[in-house]
Structure 1
Amino acid sequence: MKRKKTRILCGFLSILSCCLFLSAAAKAQKLNGQIDSLIKIVITDQQGPGGVFMVAHKGKVLYQKAFGKANIELGVGLTPENIFQLGSMTKQFTAVSVLLLEQEGKLKVSDPISKYLPDYPAGNKITIHHLLTHTSGIKDFTKMKSLASIAQKEMTPKMMVDFFKDEPVDFAPGERFEYNNSGYVLLGYLIELVSGERYADFIQHHIFDQLAMRHSYYANDRQIIKNRAYGYQKKENTYVNKTVINFSVPFASGSLMSTLADLLKWQNALSQHKLLNVAETDKAFSSYKLNNGTPFNYGYGWHIKEMEGLPVNTHGGSIFGFKSMGVYVPGEDIYVVGLTNCDCSSPTLLTENITCLVIRQLIKGQ
């Protein structure tokens, strides 16, 4: 009798488990279909450049697909394994590199930059914190008319700093928040001065190698990189190959390349404190205030926002031929990334919409 009851119970549990599995599979299929629909509204031409998208929850991939072509001339389709230029998502890596040096006691974010660059104009008033938070007031080199004169030249970090350092400042340090690429070029130079390593080598040794990010690089148009996606721009009604720039110009503000899988390794490492301790991590993801006490929503290398009533950390990027966007929901461990290989197609709003959809489905059960 007991055996019969046991068999009945086991059968019931087996049926229940099967039902739960089918229910979860149906929900996953529904979510995937909804994400597909959102993407196809934006990426409509499967014969043109497109993008790759990923959703991860608790460190595991829930959704990952590619749309469009990696190379239009050869008719090669994009895959989730393709390597994309990240543009300003590079700033995350630069900010964490600075915090790694602080963690090692080699600098402090409160240091004035004159400690490392004694001849920098008003460098005693500009701190590393100001550079990290885009509150330094220094001239953004991307807004200078003379940028075209150096865009294709090989520039050392010092040459880049010399290019903008004598320009009139836009405001006093800490007075305003204004997104600034020059600040992150300066940070890359400081990383080199403090560590004794080239910026590209520091990122490789202290981040990429540490996290087994084997498909991430400091960008180089001459190096043969397997699975590299080609970049495009749109001119009138046709696609053209991207404008060529020398990556020594954007430098630490926008010159890294990566894949969806490597970016997930990166986010998981940050969440699990594999690189930074809790105190340094908190600095990256805190909001700060201007001199007058007004708060602004930027940490060190990330925008601090809310979506669906939850705090999120975000950052996008744009460089000739490519755009990128990453959104992380820390309280729920949700990570959403979109990478596109045409700067005519921004994944920013799309990635944010996917994040909101995932929050509603997974967390709120709507």
Structure 2
Amino acid sequence: MTTQKLLTALLFLLFFSGNSHAQTYEKKIDSLILSGFGNQNEPGGAFLVSKNGKTMYRKAFGKANLELDVNMTPDHVFQIGSMTKQFTAVAVLILEQQGKLNVNDPLSKYIKDYPSGDKITIHHLLTHTSGIKDFTKMKALSTIAQKEMKPEMMVDFFKNEPVDFAPGEKFEYNNSGYVVLGHIIELVSGQTYEDFIKKNIFEKAGMSHSYYATDRQLIPKRAYGYHQKEHGFVNKTVISFSVPFSSGSLMSTVDDLVKWQQALNQNILLNTSETKKAFQKYKLNSGEEFTYGYGWHLKDINGTPDREHGGSIFGFKSMGVYIPSEDIYVIGLSNCDCHSPTEITRNIAKLTLQSVKK
């Protein structure tokens, strides 16, 4: 066999084996997703896997709108619920980078009448260690769920509730802390939370299909949210987005969330030292370490460290998993709170990690 023919044969084998591997990988992911999103006549979801910023997998399943019989596409816009907290945390760090606040500042510096505000710091709010009452666990929540609430009205709603524990004593996931952070962002920046996120994050990262949620404006390619009842699917419960506010009111797409991750990786939004603050583990007063940074859970997949966060809001669920050592990002978005992408997204990340390490 001539050298030329040998090279051609080798290239063919490499291409064929690479192509075969890609097809097997795709089928395995399809199988994982179809276990929870298999009915194409139900609300569905969108999933994306990227490595080094390049897309390895990108597909949508089910319906974006049941009434109009519209199929889901990867371009559809979803509410992302508590994944919003990542953006709020980075917004706080942007303000720190600008010299406008410090994460060790006491809450009383910004909200003078906040009970025990001299003992609670911005750091406590970011890490869910403040001990303040989570408004989502308050019985009175239904009385304001559909009202237009200003940030200070939201803070007033829960600030006089008895605290659950002293600041720094324990980690307990808390939506109120992130609402307070949104209020501080507005006070310090002189802008609305919506405008600050849009100008300092969405526009800089090129996230042109991400928004502060609204039911009043037209959102191109909006996926509609659903609940599942005994008799079938119903439209999601309507709430005022001013209630979850900076703890859960953003909307995005799978592609925009990859841009978000890339902007963090490339220090487009924050310098290295500020970025590091978001992704390091911290300690309680007792010295015990806990697995949450600023806006991200810091866990691992089979011993490989990852950063992850999910979201749940009426009609929608979301999940994002990032593996820094391999620059793998997996995102799953669902337009029914009956279909959780959490475990599926983690399993896709696990499969992808195994695939790239072969």
Name the counterpart of 2:276.
Answer: 282
> Alpha-carbon deviation of 1:237?
4.0
Which of 340, 343, 346 lines up with 1:349 in the alignment? Answer: 343
Measure the CA separation in 1 of the matches of 2:225 and 2:139: 24
Measure the CA separation in 1 of the matches of 2:38 and 2:23: 22
Name the counterpart of 2:235.
Answer: 241
| Pair 1:110-2:104 in alignment | yes
Structure 2 length-normalised TM: 0.98
Q: C-alpha deviations, 1:43-85, integer Å up to 9, x for none?
A: 1321010111011111100001101000011111000000000
What are the within-5 Å matches in structure 2 for residues 332-343 of structure 1?
Answer: 332-343=326-337
Measure the CA separation in 2 of the matches of 1:225 and 1:51: 17
* Structure 1 counterpart of 2:44, one-letter code: G
> Alpha-carbon deviation of 1:9?
3.3
For the 8 Å contact 1:233–1:242, the answer to whether it is kept is yes
Two-structure CA RMSD over aligned residues (Å): 1.0
Q: Secondary structure of the residue that 1:223 maps to in structure 2?
A: coil
Structure 1 length-normalised TM: 0.96
* Structure 2 counterpart of 1:262, one-letter code: D
Q: Secondary structure of the residue that 1:210 maps to in structure 2?
A: helix
Q: Secondary structure of the residue that 2:64 maps to in structure 1?
A: strand
Which of 202, 208, 213 lines up with 2:196 in the alignment? Answer: 202
What are the within-5 Å matches in structure 2 for residues 98-247 of structure 1?
Answer: 98-247=92-241
Q: Which deviates the most, 115-124 or 321-330? A: 115-124
Q: How many residues align?
A: 358
* Structure 1 counterpart of 2:152, one-letter code: K
> Alpha-carbon deviation of 1:331?
0.4
Q: Percent identity?
A: 64
Name the counterpart of 1:250.
Answer: 244
Q: C-alpha deviations, 1:65-108, integer Å up to 9, x for none?
A: 10100001111100000000000000000000000011111111
For the 8 Å contact 2:38–2:61, the answer to whether it is kept is no
Name the counterpart of 1:264.
Answer: 258
Name the counterpart of 1:56.
Answer: 50
| Pair 1:327-2:321 in alignment | yes
* Structure 2 counterpart of 1:227, one-letter code: K
> Alpha-carbon deviation of 1:111?
0.5
Name the counterpart of 1:39.
Answer: 33
Q: C-alpha deviations, 1:106-131, integer Å up to 9, x for none?
A: 11101101111111110000000000
What are the within-5 Å matches in structure 2 for residues 16-31 of structure 1?
Answer: 16-31=10-25
Measure the CA separation in 2 of the matches of 1:35 and 1:28: 11
Stretches of structure 2 lacking an aligned partner (at least 5 in a row): none
Measure the CA separation in 1 of the matches of 2:37 and 2:92: 37
Measure the CA separation in 2 of the matches of 1:23 and 1:237: 48
Large movers: runs of 4+ above 4 Å: none
For the 8 Å contact 2:307–2:321, the answer to whether it is kept is yes
Q: Which deviates the most, 12-21 or 173-182? A: 12-21
Q: C-alpha deviations, 1:277-327, integer Å up to 9, x for none?
A: 111111100011100001110000000001021000000000000000000
Measure the CA separation in 1 of the matches of 2:338 and 2:255: 24
> Alpha-carbon deviation of 1:17?
2.4
Larger radius of gyration: 1
For the 8 Å contact 2:204–2:268, the answer to whether it is kept is no
> Alpha-carbon deviation of 1:220?
0.2
Q: Secondary structure of the residue that 1:331 maps to in structure 2?
A: helix
Q: Which deviates the most, 249-258 or 19-28? A: 19-28
Measure the CA separation in 2 of the matches of 1:155 and 1:356: 41
Measure the CA separation in 2 of the matches of 1:140 and 1:35: 36
Measure the CA separation in 1 of the matches of 2:98 and 2:52: 29
For the 8 Å contact 2:45–2:62, the answer to whether it is kept is yes
Measure the CA separation in 1 of the matches of 2:331 and 2:213: 19
For the 8 Å contact 1:308–1:359, the answer to whether it is kept is no
Q: C-alpha deviations, 1:153-188, integer Å up to 9, x for none?
A: 000000000000000000000001000000000000
Q: Secondary structure of the residue that 2:56 maps to in structure 1?
A: strand
Measure the CA separation in 2 of the matches of 1:287 and 1:305: 10
Measure the CA separation in 2 of the matches of 1:61 and 1:333: 12
Q: Secondary structure of the residue that 1:93 maps to in structure 2?
A: helix
Which of 39, 60, 68 lines up with 1:74 in the alignment? Answer: 68
* Structure 1 counterpart of 2:220, one-letter code: K
> Alpha-carbon deviation of 1:204?
0.4
Q: Secondary structure of the residue that 1:42 maps to in structure 2?
A: helix
Measure the CA separation in 2 of the matches of 1:268 and 1:19: 33
